[in-house]
Structure 1
Amino acid sequence: MPRVINFGAGPSALPDSVLHEAALGLLDFNGTGIGIAEISHRSQEFAAFLDEVESLIRTQLDVPSTHSILFTQGGGTGQFSAVVLNLLARHRLLHPNLADDEPVMDYVLTGAWSRRASDEARRLGGGRVHVAADARLHSRNFDHIPTHDQYEFSPNPALIYYCDNETVDGVQFSADPASPASFPFHLLPQGGLLPLVGDHSSSFMSRPIPRLADHAVVYAGAQKNIGPAGLTILIVRKDCLVDVDAAAKLGAFPVPLTMSYKSMAGSSSMLNTPSIFPIYVSGLVLRRMQELGGVQHYEQFNKRKAEKLYAAIHEGEEKGLLKARVQEGSRSLMNVVFDVLSDEAKFIAGAEAKGMKAIKGHRSVGGIRVSLYNAVTEEQVDAMVAYIREFIET
């Protein structure tokens, strides 16, 4: 049976060549005679492979030596909690005399995931959540990135959180610093090391990360652009690898060892058994990426795919049959969301009949969502574009 085109938002498509190679690795990993799903994470062979995966990320994203790369579990949702606990601990060590309710955590709300991250910060407590910007203040829905005049950052926050790409709502910060939809780095508090946290789960390795060196933490689930679910990759500035037990003695929340960045770094991401198979597949994908030109290649590749799809949606808008959900300038290169104004069920059924799967929008918002992660080919996007044009002409 031929493989279908997977436009799912995650777990998402992976390159066919990598899947074939990974299948062989399940039987024999790097000539060891042991499959990758069976081999010890303490073995020399796996340790060497993990070092290679770190090097591939560091090279392609130009990660500075001031930052550690960690491999853990729990996904983006796990990091909603971990970043709060670790950065509140760091803030407590820097400001030991603050009252418990004095630390401020800044959140930029641009969609469902940043909203959930802020909800988790409120649930955990340990400080006050300050909404530095909220796209809904000027629109009923998350249909755009706030312009720079809509931000108000705290002078000395414990953390500043943003989500680069919102998979549910289809909005993404622009990589062009001149764009009003870019992240306003110039408005951040001046002086000292910024506690900036970037959730890059659904855009990781799809393009360079602007001002990466200025981030305290960047995190991403692997299951969008580089691997299967079960692996979370962290890029953590070394001043954020703090002694969470010392912070707890000063009044900070105790941090579980599996969430302590310092503990993870000290054990070379081997505090417990890591997600061996997802790490393996991600490493194969990253090797292939480097051969093709790295994130710079994929940035242009993904732009071309998105431009083709948005152009087809615009044609449907002119005929009164489709409607883009996101304002121009804020539209995601990864998750293209739109409404079918005539017969959504017919549109989905027609796409599935042509082998194009997983285009139904998130259950919370409905509509159509076509995800264009790295492994989605230009030919597959062309097939979707042709189908949209066929749909709006009939």
Structure 2
Amino acid sequence: MPASRVINFGPGPSALPQSVLEKATQGLLNFNETGIGIAEISHRSKEFVAFLSNIESLIRTQLDVPSTHSILFTQGGGTGQFSAVVLNLLARHRLLYPELTADERVMDYILTGSWSEKAFQEAGRLGGARVNVALDARKYSKDGVSFDNVPPHGEYAFSPAPAFIYYCENETVDGVQFSADPSAQTSFPFARLPRERSGLLPLVGDHSSSFMSRPIPHLGEHAVIFAGAQKNLGPAGLTVLIVRHDCLVDVDAAAKLGAAPVPLSLSYKTLADSKSLYNTPSMLPIYITGLVLERMQELGGLTYFEALNKKKAEKVYAAIRSGEERGVFQGKVQDGSGSWMNVVFNVLGDGAESRFLTGAEEAGMKGLKGHRSVGGIRVSLYNAITESDTDKLVGYMKNFVSEAGAQAFGVKFSC
């Protein structure tokens, strides 16, 4: 690794594999032997269209996306989808049930962290239906106000027939994630979800910060899954959508029945009909994402990365527990609800957090400061973070704990 490179534990835009970055620099000058750089070539050229099609194939294969779903590429990030989900799925619901009033249409939101809360707020701002909080995890937190847990299955209160049910699989800010163990009470409660008259599940999942880090349970039953690329896949500027075909609706026909008009650039059907080329897409982020996906497949796909990410997270959580025993660290998330992608904790003592961050930077590790809204430390362990990178951080954490303990007893400590 060149001396100028550090280990980037940032939450996003996040680390990318060095081999991908090196290959991407070649593509900036000459994309796939066209003699034109990726930032210059036409998005309708046969070379780019073929590349985009291959990206779709790589995602479909590695995530096992069924033929009942389209894979789409757009802009606006996860935040843009807070609006697009509401507009598209209420248009769909209007076409299915035109007789219902706005108060009879319900959008169910599961609140487990800052991002699901922001999506919930946007749904209320857009209107068009009543918003129901199916679960607010803050009620089950240690202090009654923080997002620090995923409550057990019995605590969810879904509407009988919602237009859609919205959840965020991994909360980047708060370090909370649904368990990967389907038997755990902190896993997602698929068995409790209400279905439509047709038997379909109107489920929407924000997978932005965990997309392509491990398999998605019940993927084929989701109505919509979306993810910003800037965590595990590529640079900011690209959003990946997986949309069930019955959700690719004629938004203009829905508007004639009273639904809110949907901008064409946000319409899922428009994106699908144009094969994600309705307008100029984010060329460079798409290119780098393709390179990342190719590398993932070469390494063994999600089987490889699920095992790796589990191992990395376990090492960091073990170091936190060790620090807790010495009174140096304090975990922020309740047992069973911790994220594999974003591990959060506090460093106890006056000025201790600042010393921890300064020492980490001096050791070549950056991006560890927690989100401004919650503070503390946040370790983002996305796919590009290697086990070796993780081991270096864990070693630093252990040394920090030992040094803090020695200082507490007036012992001079040296690394």
TM-score, with structure 2 as normaliser = 0.94
Amino acid at match of 1:150: E
Pick one of 26, 29, 49 that aligns with 2:28.
Answer: 26
Query: Within the alignment, does 1:138 sit opposite 2:158 as a pair?
Result: no
> Are residues 1:380 and 2:365 paired?
no
Q: 1:72 aligns with which of 50, 67, 74?
A: 74
Q: CA deviation at 1:137?
A: 1.2
Deviation at 1:21, TM superposition (A): 0.2
Deviation string, structure 1 residues 229-264 (Cα, Å, up to 9, x no partner): 000000000000000000000000000000000011
Alignment partners' CA distance in 1, 2:302 and 2:226: 16
The 2-side partners of 1:304 and 1:75 are apart by 29
| AA in 2 matched with 1:228 | P
The reply on whether 1:169 has 2:171 as its aligned counterpart is no
The aligned residue for residue 186 of structure 2 is 181
2:166 equivalent to 1:158: no
In the alignment, what sits opposite 2:291? 284
**Structure 2: tracts of 5 or more residues without a match:** 404-415
- 1-side partners of 2:4 and 2:253: how far apart? 57
| Amino acid across the alignment from 2:164 | L
> How far apart are residue 193 of structure 1 and its match?
1.1
Choose from 16, 31, 56 the match for 1:14.
Answer: 16
Q: Secondary structure at the match of 1:30?
A: helix
1:95 corresponds in structure 2 to: 97
Amino acid at match of 1:30: N
**Whole-Å Cα distance in 2 between the matches of residues 2 and 180 of structure 1?**
45
Match of 2:206 among 199, 209, 212: 199
Hey, what does 2:235 align to over in structure 1? Answer: 228
Q: What amino acid is the match of 2:172? A: T
Alignment of 1:121-132 (within 5 A): 121-132=123-134
Deviates more, 1:188-197 or 1:376-385: 188-197
Q: CA deviation at 1:195?
A: 1.1
Alignment partner of 1:272 is 2:279 = yes
The alpha carbon displacement at 1:101 in A equals 2.4
Conserved? CA contact 1:143–1:171, under 8 Å: yes
In the alignment, the residues of structure 1 paired with residue 36 and residue 128 of structure 2 have an alpha-carbon distance, to the nearest angstrom, of 47
1:217 aligns to what SS in structure 2?
strand
Q: Deviations over 1:313-335 (max 9, x none)?
A: 11100000100100111000000
- AA matched with 2:182: P
RMSD, matched Cα: 0.7
Q: Distance in 1 between matches of 2:38 and 2:375?
A: 39
Q: How many residues align?
A: 394
Structure-2 residue corresponding to 1:359: 368
Name the CA distance, whole Å, in 2 between partners of 1:351 and 1:100: 52
2:70 matched to 1:61?
no
Deviation, 1:2, is 2.9
Shift of 1:69: 0.4
Counterpart Cα distance in 2 of 1:323 and 1:35: 48
Match of 2:108 in 1: 106
Find the residue that maps to 2:4 and give its secondary structure. coil
Structure 2 distance, partners of 1:382, 1:326, is: 22
Question: In 1, Cα distance between the equivalents of 2:180 and 2:390?
Answer: 22
Structure 2 residue aligned with 1:307, among 302, 314, 336?
314
Contact 2:110 2:133 in 1 (8 A): yes
Runs (4+) off by over 4 Å: none
User: Residue 263 of structure 1 is aligned with which of 253, 267, 270?
Assistant: 270
2:30 counterpart SS class: coil
Match of 1:117 in 2: 119
SS across alignment from 2:243: strand
Cα distance in 1 between the residues matched to 2:78 and 2:269: 19
Q: Which moved more, 1:221-230 or 1:182-191?
A: 182-191
Q: Contact 1:217–1:237 (CA<8 Å) still a contact in 2?
A: yes
Cα-to-partner distance string for 1:104-138 (whole Å, 9 max, x where unaligned): 00000000000000000000000011011111112
Aligned residue for 1:132, secondary structure, equals strand
Instruction: Give the conservation status (yes or no) of the 8 Å contact 2:140–2:149.
Output: no
Q: TM-score, normalised by structure 1?
A: 0.99
Match of 1:369 in 2: 378
Displacement of 1:189 = 1.1
Q: Is the Cα contact below 8 Å between 2:102 and 2:130 reproduced in 1?
A: no
> Counterpart in 1 of 2:245?
238
CA distance in 1, matches of 2:402, 2:296: 38
Q: Which position in structure 1 is the counterpart of 2:410?
A: none
Counterparts of 1:26 and 1:371, CA distance in 2 = 28
**What amino acid is aligned across from residue 81 of structure 1 in structure 2?**
S
User: What residue number does 1:327 align with?
Assistant: 334
SS of 1:137's equivalent in the other structure is helix
Contact residue 101 and residue 127 of structure 1 kept, 8 A: yes
The aligned counterpart of 2:50 is: 48
Matched residue SS, 2:167: strand
**Secondary structure of residue in 1 paired with 2:370:** coil
What is the CA deviation profile of residues 260-310 of structure 1, one whole-angstrom value per residue up to 9, with x for unaligned ones?
A: 000110000011000111000000000000011111110000000000011
One-letter amino acid of the counterpart of residue 17, structure 2: P
Report how far residue 146 of structure 1 moved.
Answer: 1.4
For 2:409, the equivalent position in structure 1 comes to none
Aligned to 1:219, what secondary structure does the other structure show?
strand
Aligned-partner Cα distance in 2 for 1:2–1:80: 37
- Identical aligned residues as a percent: 71
Answer yes or no: is the 8 Å Cα contact 1:100–1:251 preserved in 2: no
Q: Which moved more, 1:134-143 or 1:380-389?
A: 134-143
